[in-house]
Structure 1
Amino acid sequence: MNVDAVSDIFRRVLENAEVSADSDFFVMGGDSLLATRVLSAIARACGVELDFDDFADAPTPGALAKKIASMA
């Protein structure tokens, strides 16, 4: 899953078109409940199961895409 796809998921979940590859999910208003929606969307889209700790360690689309690539 590339950074653009992860950014699109962030945009949908946060309802914010201003998400970039370096946007921190939690700084942009995300919380743990919304994070579960991101994780579910990633699992559906590419079959990679991440947990909340993975997400907290990589809260930007760019960092999360790298983590997904390392697990796929």
Structure 2
Amino acid sequence: MSLDMPVTAPAAAGPARTADPVEALAAVFRRILELDHVPADGNFFLLGGDSLIATRVLSAVARDHGVELTFEDFLVDPTPAGLATRIAAEGVTADAGRIVAGR
């Protein structure tokens, strides 16, 4: 390797970031449920999820996006669009692909 060749750091492993909160939540559903596609209105439970797996989604949302939703929040509308609406109602916005509390 030549000294004049630039060295680039490998891309950071982890969840893909998107500025769209619905897509960010759909990505969490895809990862947890191991699906190729989750529509914005895809009901978590109809896609094969259960209450135990739902806790993994809530943990992933908190860890990856900085938002803590309750299981009750999840049950109100267990879809990426529904959770994004719930987050928006709580004063949370998307910021550079990360869902961040706006309080």
For residue 69 of structure 1, give the secondary structure of its aligned residue in structure 2.
Answer: helix
Unaligned runs of 5+ in 2: 1-19, 93-103
Dislocated runs of 4+, deviation >3 Å: none
**What secondary structure, in the 3-state scheme, does the structure 1 residue paired with 2:54 have?**
helix
Provide the rounded CA distance (Å) in 2 between the counterparts of 1:46 and 1:28. 22
* Residue number in structure 1 paired with 2:51: 32
1:20 counterpart = 2:69: no
Q: Does 1:60 align with 2:87?
A: no
* Paired positions, count: 72
Partners of 2:83 and 2:77 in 1: CA distance: 5
2:6 alignment counterpart = none
Once the 2 structures are TM-superposed, how far is the Cα of residue 68 of structure 1 from its aligned partner? Answer: 1.2
Secondary structure of the structure 2 residue equivalent to 1:63: helix
Structure possessing the higher radius of gyration over alpha carbons = 2
- The residue that corresponds to 2:96 in the other structure is none
Higher relative contact order (CA 8 A, sep 6+): 1
| TM-score normalised by the chain length of structure 2 | 0.65
- What is the alpha-carbon root mean square deviation over aligned residues? 1.2
The letter of the residue matching 2:24 is A
Q: Secondary structure at the match of 2:24?
A: helix
How much does 1:20 deviate? 0.7
Aligned-residue sequence identity (percent) comes to: 56
* Aligned counterparts of 2:55 and 2:36: Cα–Cα separation in 1: 20
SS at 1:29 equivalent: coil
Q: Would you tell me which structure has more strand in proportion to its own residues?
A: 2
Q: Which runs of 5+ in 1 are unaligned?
A: none
